[in-house]
Amino acid sequence: MNGLEVNRGLATRYVCELGEDVLRKKAKEVKKIDRKIIELLDDMANTLYEKDGIGLAAPQVGILKRVVVIDIGEGLIELINPVITRQEGEQIYMEGCLSYPGHFGNVKRPAKLTLRAFNREGQELEYEAEGLLAVVFCHELDHLEGTMFIDRVIGEIYTAEQLKAMSDAEEGEATLEEVTSDKVTSGEVTSDKVTSGVADEGEVASGEADEGKAASGEATSGEVGAGGTGANGAIAKEVGGGRAI
């Protein structure tokens, strides 16, 4: 020991909760990876593990810097100035948040994405993510913009108690396969077309002739709402078994 190294041990930081202004502000890019940033990364990782979370963004510990730590059980990932460069598909997960403990809701995220970020050595790395990791990346990047998962929730926000009661009732079987409510717009087409022509005399007649078709539009609209489980009632897979992000 030369007396210069400070053993910070497992220093942790206070985690801000919904209602605190800092969670709603945009974080600033890290210009230089200095000692303060390294300490921030260390403390954030300690905090993540102490709280048994799977992701934590710097604004959640009151620091408006673009810094994130994640561990979904596959090792610690540290992200400095992360940027999503590609995304595709959709998935819905039930998310929670360390800054809004005990509350959960379904959120739609890309199914797959590519992300670039710097590590603590200043190297730029590229990550390919899907499933849970993609969800957590998106959730944390939202925090850097001052966005919370509750801003994106589809349907209700559930408390942990509600979820437990629901899963006790259904033995945890309810998995949201697919959001069926997107099918809604198909019925509107034909009747609009009937009136759309300029009122040239010749065309008026053809407009009338189309009325038969307009009726078929109704047939389509009969399907609207036939989709059974919408996003509201269904419960998506819980992120990391209910652990907060």
Residues recognised as catalytic: 140
Residue 228 CB neighbours (<10 A): 8
- The nearer residue to Zn ion, 63 or 170, going by C-beta atoms, is 63
Q: Which residue, judged by CB position, is nearest to Zn ion in the bound state?
A: 97
In whole angstroms, the minimum distance from the beta carbon of 143 to Zn ion comes to 6
DSSP letter for 64, please. -
Q: Which two tokens stand for residue 45?
A: 């990782």
- State the amino acid at position 121 in one-letter form: E
User: Which among 55, 61, 102, 51 is positioned nearest to 74, based on CA atoms?
Assistant: 55
Site for Zn ion in 89-128 (CB under 5 A): 97
- State the amino acid at position 84 in one-letter form: I
In whole angstroms, the minimum distance from the beta carbon of 233 to Zn ion comes to 24
- The nearer residue to Zn ion, 50 or 178, going by C-beta atoms, is 50
Q: Which two tokens stand for residue 224?
A: 């609207």
Site for Zn ion in 161-180 (CB under 5 A): none
* 245 counts as binding Zn ion under rule CB under 5 A: yes
User: Which among 58, 55, 50 is positioned nearest to 70, based on CA atoms?
Assistant: 55
- The nearer residue to Zn ion, 80 or 97, going by C-beta atoms, is 97
Number of residues in contact with Zn ion under rule CB under 5 A: 2
In whole angstroms, the minimum distance from the beta carbon of 35 to Zn ion comes to 26
* 37 counts as binding Zn ion under rule CB under 5 A: no
DSSP letter for 60, please. G
- The nearer residue to Zn ion, 97 or 231, going by C-beta atoms, is 97
In whole angstroms, the minimum distance from the beta carbon of 120 to Zn ion comes to 22
- The nearer residue to Zn ion, 103 or 237, going by C-beta atoms, is 103
In whole angstroms, the minimum distance from the beta carbon of 100 to Zn ion comes to 7
Residue 237 CB neighbours (<10 A): 18
User: Which among 44, 24, 26, 17 is positioned nearest to 99, based on CA atoms?
Assistant: 17
The CA radius of gyration of the chain, in Å to the nearest whole number, is 25
DSSP codes of every residue in 146-169 = T--GGGT-EEEEEEHHHHHHHHHH
Q: Which two tokens stand for residue 40?
A: 């921030």
List contacts with Zn ion (CB under 5 A).
97, 245
